[in-house]
A and B are shown apart, each in its own frame.
Chain A
Amino acid sequence: AQRVTQPEKLLSVFKGAPVELKCNYSYSGSPELFWYVQYSRQRLQLLLRHISRESIKGFTADLNKGETSFHLKKPFAQEEDSAMYYCALSGLSHGGSQGNLIFGKGTKLSVKP
């Protein structure tokens, strides 16, 4: 079964502290994994994808196939990082369609001053 698990509903840290948002997945093939972010009153948008291996706004995420994880990390959190973060997997839908995203339940990150 295809599944994305984000164990933390809420993560609260102080400004300047490291942050790690956890994501584990279940997928039988080679997954495409993403992190999407939704800032207050804005639409959902892509933060980063595993195939790019890039750092966006100081965030990085490494795909660990052995642990089936794709945790999002940032060494020094900023107040503007406060948002809802969703881990997503691109796979095959139950209806047979391809290209849709399977989302985790999301983690709300709150960065306090």
Chain B
Amino acid sequence: SAVISQKPSRDICQRGTSLTIQCQVDSQVTMMFWYRQQPGQSLTLIATANQGSEATYESGFVIDKFPISRPNLTFSTLTVSNMSPEDSSIYLCSVRGHGVAEAFFGQGTRLTVV
């Protein structure tokens, strides 16, 4: 299993500012992902965080808006840049080990942009 610490757990931010969310795992994991869950919606994959290289973004998500870092196998950050109210959402970090089917999730960051 893996225990994920994600912070902050929630924040209220002014539009036009940026917020960086941190994800720390208690063990080395192969795969790390960032998801977004908009109000009343399902989880949508933003990107796969790749260690030591640029993240792999899904359609509709770009690096300029959601820069991601992954300096090692246990830590990643997601930045939500130049925020607007439409970015209000829950952002989730998820990890999955190589050859292990189960995915583990952080508790999420509830972001409100005003």
Q: Please, how many angstroms separate the alpha-carbon atoms of A15 and B82 in the complex?
A: 47
Q: A86-B42, A100-B48, A103-B43 are in contact. Are A46 and B56 (CB under 8 A)?
A: no
Task: Check if B76 is an interface residue, CB within 8 A of chain A.
Answer: no
Interface of B, helix, strand, loop or mixed by DSSP: strand
- Asked whether any CB of chain B lies closer than 8 Å to the CB of A95, the reply is yes
- Which residue on A lies nearest to B105, using beta carbons? A44
- Tell yes or no: A30 within 8 A of B by CB: no
| Given A43-B107, A44-B92, A101-B94, A95-B42 contact (CB < 8 Å) | no
Contact of A101 among B103, B106, B108 (CB under 8 A): B103
Closest-CB distance, B48 to chain A (whole angstroms): 4
**Size range of the interface on A?**
20 to 34
Q: Which residue of B is nearest A87, CB measured?
A: B42
Nearest A-chain residue to B95, judged by Cβ: A99
Residue count of chain B within 8 Å CB distance of chain A? 24
- B47: chain A residues within 8 A (beta carbon): 95
Contact indicator A43/B102 (Cβ below 8 Å) = no
**Which residues of the other chain, A, contact B31 by a CB distance below 8 angstroms?**
97, 99-100
Taking a contact as CB atoms under 8 Å apart, the answer to whether B43 and A86 are in contact is yes
B interface residues with partner A (beta carbon < 8 Å)? 30-31, 33, 41-45, 47-48, 56-59, 92, 94, 96, 101-103, 105-108
* Residue A90 at the chain B interface, CB threshold 8 Å: yes
Q: Are the CB atoms of A93 and B45 closer together than 8 Å?
A: yes
CB of A45 within 8 A of CB of B41, answer no
Chain A residues whose CB sits within 8 angstroms of the CB of B48 once the complex forms: 93, 95, 97, 99-100
Q: Which residues of B contact A45 (CB under 8 A)?
A: 105
In the complex with contacts A97-B48, A97-B56, A99-B31, A106-B105 CB distance below 8 A: no
Q: Is the CB of A100 within 8 A of B33?
A: yes
Tell me how far the C-beta of B61 lies from the nearest C-beta in chain A, rounded to whole angstroms: 9
